[in-house]
């Protein structure tokens, strides 16, 4: 449970109200999925005007605590989804893709799905992939996908490989599956982790539409290179994960 620091006398009224509502959410008074009282109800209860209520709720929305559904109401967001990656250099060397460890099997709508296979034309991301793989952009093939969890899109993924053309069936939009093993089979290679890094960006228009989030939403970025057993770079991946609903947990010891 988050503990809010005490408000100073100079704290705006709307922010004090936001903290009061946050405390109720933390205490379970408004559980995940619950609808908050309406603006008039909150206004009457706390003795503030509706503009103050609206500002307080907007503050909670910016903090990814609530979701405002226009014309319906304001609802408490569920807790962050844990996307766990067990890290052990002795046993996690091979690149099996993130889907098996990140997604449960019970939801039929969950998994990784192909979105597109755009041409590699020299965008900033294409140029970075070419640099990481030691190839010219024209030598690369690219596949984009989305990972769904809990019935919602959670991650936008882009893969670049230094070979092609890729099988038409692998590129079919809507195709389900784990793309890393599929790309390895298409290349006839075995993939191992070379490196992985974590960062953050604001969602651009394309990722915002794909993930169903407002532009500028904080996205976690997990990127890296996988190589063949002899060390030749064979895949560059860049995943953008909705930072308001997911996080990576790295386990460095057996549990």
The structure's pTM equals 0.67
Rounded Cα distance between 74 and 66, Å, is 7
pLDDT tens over the chain, length 255 residues = 344 445 556 789 999 999 999 999 988 899 989 999 999 999 999 999 999 999 999 988 887 788 999 889 999 988 765 555 555 555 455 555 655 444 444 445 788 999 999 999 878 899 999 999 999 999 999 999 999 887 889 899 999 999 989 999 999 999 998 899 999 999 999 999 899 888 888 888 889 899 988 878 889 898 999 999 999 999 999 999 887 766 666 666 665
Scan for tokens 């895949």, then name that residue.
235
């Amino acid at each position: 449970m988050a503990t809010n620091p005490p408000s100073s006398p100079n704290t705006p009224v709307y922010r004090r109200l936001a903290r009061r509502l946050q405390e109720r959410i933390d205490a379970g008074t408004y559980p995940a999925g619950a609808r908050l009282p309406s603006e008039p109800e909150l206004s009457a209860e706390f003795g503030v005007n509706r503009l103050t209520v609206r500002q307080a709720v907007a503050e909670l929305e910016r903090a990814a605590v609530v979701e405002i559904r226009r014309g319906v109401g304001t609802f408490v967001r569920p807790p962050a989804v844990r996307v766990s990656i067990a890290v052990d250099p002795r046993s996690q060397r091979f690149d099996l893709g993130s889907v098996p460890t990140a997604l449960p099997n019970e939801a039929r709508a969950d998994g990784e799905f192909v979105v597109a296979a755009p041409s590699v034309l020299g965008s900033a991301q294409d140029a970075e992939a070419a640099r990481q793989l030691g190839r010219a952009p024209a030598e690369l093939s690219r596949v984009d996908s989305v990972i769904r969890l809990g019935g919602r899109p959670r991650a936008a993924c882009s893969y670049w490989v230094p070979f092609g053309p890729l099988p038409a069936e692998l590129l079919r939009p809507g195709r389900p599956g784990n793309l890393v093993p599929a790309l390895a089979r298409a290349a006839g290679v075995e993939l191992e982790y070379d490196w992985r890094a974590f960062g953050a960006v604001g969602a651009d228009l394309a990722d915002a539409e794909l993930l169903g989030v407002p532009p500028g939403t904080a996205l976690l970025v997990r990127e890296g290179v996988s190589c063949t057993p002899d060390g030749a770079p064979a895949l560059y991946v860049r995943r953008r994960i909705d930072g308001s609903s997911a996080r990576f947990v790295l386990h460095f010891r057996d549990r």
